[in-house]
Amino acid sequence: EVQLVESGGGLVQPGGSLRLSCAASGFIFNDYAINWVRQAPGKGLEWLSFISGSSRHIYYADSVKGRFAISRDNAKHSVHLQMDSLRAEDTAVYYCARDVSDHIGDSYFNIRFDPWGQGTLVTVSS
Amino acid sequence: VLTQSPGTLSLSPGERATLSCRASQSVSSSYLVWYQQKPGQAPRLLIYGASTRATGIPDRFSGSGSGTDFTLTISRLEPEDFAMYYCQQKGTSPRYSFGQGTKLEI
């Protein structure tokens, strides 16, 4: 079974740091990019970051660029999100999601996120 | 930017639901995705490539559209279909974005 499991969430003070992890199983981990997406309480989905299978390509949303850093350890089938300088508005459930696509040669299409982990709650408060 | 409408859709089981997702710029159909999210759960993939149902998704769910206008249709609502629905696109910067969601309620 393809599965992603997040961990590392919790309560942190404003200005603090937290490191989230996403453990993957059931698929060839190196072959897939992974994304982080968050959802503030009662709000919609916000894409945060992408890391390719080789870690060669990394992207961030403007809202977290310079504060968050994504990385992966292919030997341990895990992806991490290092979150620094946390703010109250970073309070959310954080999901990791596998980036799936079809491709012919170097052309990628039918991109989708599947599956998603169950999420981990990050609360930034004093 | 993706704009979903309506914000809330109130219908009854057995009725037909039509959810809209409008993009501010033309989107490749290959990059338009729909997800369903129930309270306390992670989003679940429904439709990708604008019209292809994901594995295990019932055929009462269908997607259509092109360019800037996309639609998710649920032909006959079942009780378990009442949930939040989000559309998503792949862009350039940011790489991905979501619509604000449509709440489908009884």
Residues 58-77 on A with a CB inside 8 Å of B are 59, 61-62
Residue A36: other Cβ atoms inside 10 A: 27
Chain B stretch 52-81, residues whose beta carbon is closer than 8 A to a beta carbon of chain A? 52, 54
Spell out which residues of chain B touch residue A46, defining contact as CB-CB under 8 Å. Answer: 98
CA-nearest residue of chain A to B7? A44
Strand partners, B22: B3, B69
Query: Which chain A residues are Cβ-neighbours of B51 within 8 angstroms?
Result: none
d(CA B48, CA B105): 23
Are the Cβ atoms of A114 and B99 closer than 8 angstroms? no
DSSP H or E segment with residue B97: strand B96-98
Closest CA to A92 of A18, A37, A34: A37
Q: Which of B28, B38, B95, B98 to mutate to test the interface with A (most CBs of A within 10 A)?
A: B95
Please tell me the predicted confidence (pLDDT) of residue B92.
81
> pLDDT per residue over A98-113, tens digit each?
999 998 888 888 899 9
Which of A3, A48, A65, A110 would you mutate first to test chain B, the one with the most B CBs within 10 A? A110
Rg of chain A (C-alpha set): 14
Closest CA to B4 of B98, B105, B75, B106: B98
- Which pLDDT score, from 0 to 100, does residue A99 have? 96
What is the per-residue pLDDT across A47-70, written as a single tens digit (0 to 9) for each? Answer: 999 999 999 999 999 999 999 999
